[in-house]
Structure 1
Amino acid sequence: MERPFAYVTRGGIVESVHSGVIAVVSSEGKLLGEYGDSNLVTFARSACKPLQAIPLVESGAMEAFAFEEADLALFCASHSSEAQHTERVERILARIGLDESYLQCGAHIPHSMQTYDRLVQAGKTLSSLYSNCSGKHSGMLAYAKHVGADVATYHHVEHPLQQAILQVVSDLTEVLKDDIVIGVDGCGVPVHALPVQNWARAYAKFADPERFGHGEAMHRISTAMRAYPSLVGGTDRFDTDLMTATHGRILAKGGAEGFMMVVVPKQRVGIALKVRDGNARAIPPIVIHTLDGLGALSPSELESLHKYQKPEVKNTRGEVVGEVVADFELALR
C-alpha cells in the first residue's frame, strides 16, 4: 500500500503528497525500523556508487595510479560539474593515460548552472566530462586499465568490472545474484534492484566495516566520502551539506528517482529510503525527520540544516509560496 510521508503546501493547503518507504537496519542485519513496505524492490541508482567503487579499491588500482583519498570520494560522486570536480576527473584520466573520449557516461546539462553559463559563454559543447557520473566512470576506467580489461566496454554488464560489482552488491545486500534485477542506469552502466531493507542492510555494514567481507574497502570509501563531502555532490547539495554539517560523522549518498542512503557509524545503522513518485524534493525533510527521530542529530546540526527541514517552494519570482513537510512516524522495533 502507498504510505504518504511528506506533503507539499501552497496557499495554506496541501497541494501534493509523496509516499514512500524507509528501512533502518543495524550493522548486525536487524530491521530496527521501517515505514511502508521495506520489501519494495527498487533501484538504488547513484546511491549504489559506494558499493560500485569497492572492486576498484580491492584491485590495487588506488596504489598503482597513486590516487588520493579525494579521488576516491569523486569515484563515488554524483557531482555538480563544478571546477573542483571536472578538473579532478581530467587529472585522473591523465594519470591512467586516457582522455574524456573514453568516458561512456554521455553528456547532460551540469547541475551547476554557473558551470553551464560559462560553457555557453565560451561557446563550448557539453561533453561526458560534465556528466554528474564522470567521476564514477573515470574510476571504472582506472579499474579496467589496471587489470588489463577492455576500456571500451567497461559499461557492459558482461564486463569483468560489472560482474565484480554485481558480486559485491550480492555479498553486501545478502541477495543472491540471480535474484537481483539488472537495469541500465542513466549513465549507461548496469544498475541493480532489490528490496529497500536489503539496501539498508548493505549500507549498515559501512557503519561497522571491519566485521564484514570487503571491510577494508568499505572503510576507505566511507572515510574518503566523509572527508571530502563537497566532491561527492557539490554546492547546495543535500548529501554534501548533511555530511558537512555533521563534520563527517554521517555518511550520505543520494540516487536518482527519489532514493537515498544514510549511514550513522556511531549508532551502527544504515538507512535506505525511496520516494515512490521519484521526486527528490521530499528527501531532505524525510531524512532529517528520520535522523532526528533516531536521536542522530544534535541541536546545532539541526540548526545548520534548517533550510532542509521544511524546504521552501518558490515561484519564478523567487517568492515563497509553500513548503515541503515530512509527516510520518517511523515504526521502531
Structure 2
Amino acid sequence: MAGAVPLVEIWRGPFLESVHAGHAVVCNAGGEIVEAWGDPEAVVLPRSSSKMLQALPLIESGAADAVGLTREQLALACASHNGAAIHSERVTAWLADLGFSDADFCCGPQEPRDLEARDELIREGKPVCRYHNNCSGKHSGFLTLTKHLKAGPEYVALDHPVQKAVKAAFEEVTEEDSPGYGVDGCSAPNFAATMHGMARAMAFFAAANPDGDRRQAAAVRLREAMAAYPELVAGEGRACTELMRAMDHKVAVKTGAEGYFVAIIPEKKLGIAVKIADGASRGAECITAALLVRHGALDPAHPVARKYIDGTIKNWDGLVTGRMRPVEGVLPPL
C-alpha cells in the first residue's frame, strides 16, 4: 500500500522478524490532523470500523425511537460480535419485535466465533444461522430502518433507501465524496474514504454534543452505547471489548476487517483511524492501543495496555519467544 510506514514490530529473541506497515491519523474536533503516520490521503475501505456511521440514519430518521431501541441494541447496531448467547439472543428478540425472522437478513450464516456457542450448535445438531453473523446487529438496525421507511426487503442494494441514507451520512461526516465502495463480508456496501476522512469522522463523534443538532445527538447516543456495552460490540477476549473496559467505558473503539481500527476519545475530542497495510489485526490493535496511551486515554500500566503494546509471543510449550510492540517514537519508554 503506497505511502505506508512501519508502525509495529515483531521481535523473536534479538531479531526483528516482521514489521507491520500502515497509516494512522489523529484528528481534532475541527477535523484538522493533529499527527499522522503514512499517508493521510490514502483511500481505504474502513470495513466494520464504519458501523457507527452506518447506524446514524437509524437514529436520525426516528426509526430507533419509533420502536424504542435500547442502548444495548444501539451497541449491537455497531457491533462485530462473537455470536455468543448474549449476542444471538438479543438479535433474535430484536427480530421478533420487528415481526421479522432470520430469513429476512441479507447477511449470510456464519459460524459463531464464540467457542461455547459453536460447540453447542454442534452437540445439538443445530444449523448455523444468519443471526450468528458478526454483523447481525448492524443488519437488525438496517431492518429497523427499512420497516420505518416502508421500503423493500433488499436493503443492502446500493439504490435502496437504507443504503442511500447510509452513503449520505458517511459522506457528510467524513466531509468527502466517497470514490466508491466494496461489498462487505455481510453483503452490505462498504464505502471508501481517506484515512483523514475517517479520523475526521471519529473526531466528529468525539466532539458531538448531546444538546446539539439531530446528528450530534445521534452520534453521542451511539458512542455512549458502544462504551457502555463493550461486551456487545465484540465479545470476551476481543481487543474492542478489553480496551473499552480498560478505559472505564469513556472511549469507544471499533475494529474493522483487514487491519482497520478506529477510536473515539470524547474527553480529548480526538478521533483516530488506523490501517495496517498487510491486513493484520494484531498490528492494528497494537498501534491503536499505543495511540490511546499516547493521547492519555489508556493507562500504560494497565494489564490490557501491556497486552497490546508490549505483547509477549509464546510457543506451544508456553515459552516466551518474542514480543510485539509499536515502532520507536510512538510511545515513551514504558
Q: Residue 206 of structure 2: SS of its match in structure 1?
A: coil
Task: Confirm whether residue 195 of structure 1 aligns to residue 194 of structure 2.
Answer: yes
Shift of 1:298: 3.1
Residue 40 of structure 1 aligns with which residue?
A: 42
**1:99-147 per-position Cα deviation (integer Å, ceiling 9, x unaligned):** 1111111022222122111111111221111110011111101110111
| C-alpha contact (below 8 Å) 1:200/1:272 kept by paired residues | yes
| C-alpha contact (below 8 Å) 2:110/2:129 kept by paired residues | yes
Residue 26 of structure 2 aligns with which residue?
A: 24
Shift of 1:299: 5.0
TM-aligned CA distance change 1:224 to 1:12, over 3 Å: same
Of 122, 133, 136, which residue of structure 2 is paired with 1:134? 136
| C-alpha contact (below 8 Å) 1:205/1:212 kept by paired residues | no
Shift of 1:296: 2.6
Residue 276 of structure 1 aligns with which residue?
A: 277
Give the total of aligned pairs. 327
Task: Confirm whether residue 215 of structure 1 aligns to residue 216 of structure 2.
Answer: yes
| C-alpha contact (below 8 Å) 2:223/2:264 kept by paired residues | no
Task: Confirm whether residue 50 of structure 1 aligns to residue 71 of structure 2.
Answer: no
| C-alpha contact (below 8 Å) 2:298/2:305 kept by paired residues | no
**1:279-308 per-position Cα deviation (integer Å, ceiling 9, x unaligned):** 0011222112212222332355x3443222
| C-alpha contact (below 8 Å) 1:34/1:330 kept by paired residues | no
Which letter maps to 1:168? Answer: A
| C-alpha contact (below 8 Å) 2:76/2:233 kept by paired residues | yes
Shift of 1:230: 0.7
| Whole-angstrom CA distance in 2 between matches of 1:271 and 1:306 | 20
Q: Residue 7 of structure 1: SS of its match in structure 2?
A: strand
| C-alpha contact (below 8 Å) 1:57/1:217 kept by paired residues | yes
Shift of 1:330: 5.1
Task: Confirm whether residue 324 of structure 1 aligns to residue 324 of structure 2.
Answer: yes
| Whole-angstrom CA distance in 2 between matches of 1:192 and 1:328 | 33
Residue 104 of structure 2 aligns with which residue?
A: 102
Which letter maps to 1:225? Answer: M
Shift of 1:50: 0.3
Q: Residue 125 of structure 1: SS of its match in structure 2?
A: coil
Q: Residue 257 of structure 1: SS of its match in structure 2?
A: coil
Shift of 1:218: 0.4
TM-aligned CA distance change 1:36 to 1:99, over 3 Å: same
Q: Residue 266 of structure 1: SS of its match in structure 2?
A: coil
Residue 258 of structure 1 aligns with which residue?
A: 259
| Whole-angstrom CA distance in 1 between matches of 2:17 and 2:184 | 31
| C-alpha contact (below 8 Å) 2:108/2:130 kept by paired residues | yes
Q: Residue 19 of structure 2: SS of its match in structure 1?
A: strand
Q: Residue 86 of structure 2: SS of its match in structure 1?
A: helix
| C-alpha contact (below 8 Å) 1:10/1:322 kept by paired residues | yes
* Uncovered stretches (5+) of structure 2, i.e. residues with no partner: none
| C-alpha contact (below 8 Å) 1:155/1:162 kept by paired residues | yes
Residue 293 of structure 2 aligns with which residue?
A: 292
| Higher alpha-carbon deviation: 59-68 or 73-82 | 59-68
Shift of 1:328: 4.1
| C-alpha contact (below 8 Å) 1:46/1:253 kept by paired residues | yes
| Higher alpha-carbon deviation: 78-87 or 104-113 | 104-113
| C-alpha contact (below 8 Å) 2:24/2:273 kept by paired residues | yes
TM-score if structure 1 supplies the norm length? 0.93
**1:8-52 per-position Cα deviation (integer Å, ceiling 9, x unaligned):** 223442221110000000011111000111111101100100010
Residue 305 of structure 2 aligns with which residue?
A: 305
Residue 183 of structure 1 aligns with which residue?
A: 182
**1:47-72 per-position Cα deviation (integer Å, ceiling 9, x unaligned):** 10001001111122222222211111
| Whole-angstrom CA distance in 2 between matches of 1:110 and 1:13 | 37
Shift of 1:321: 3.0
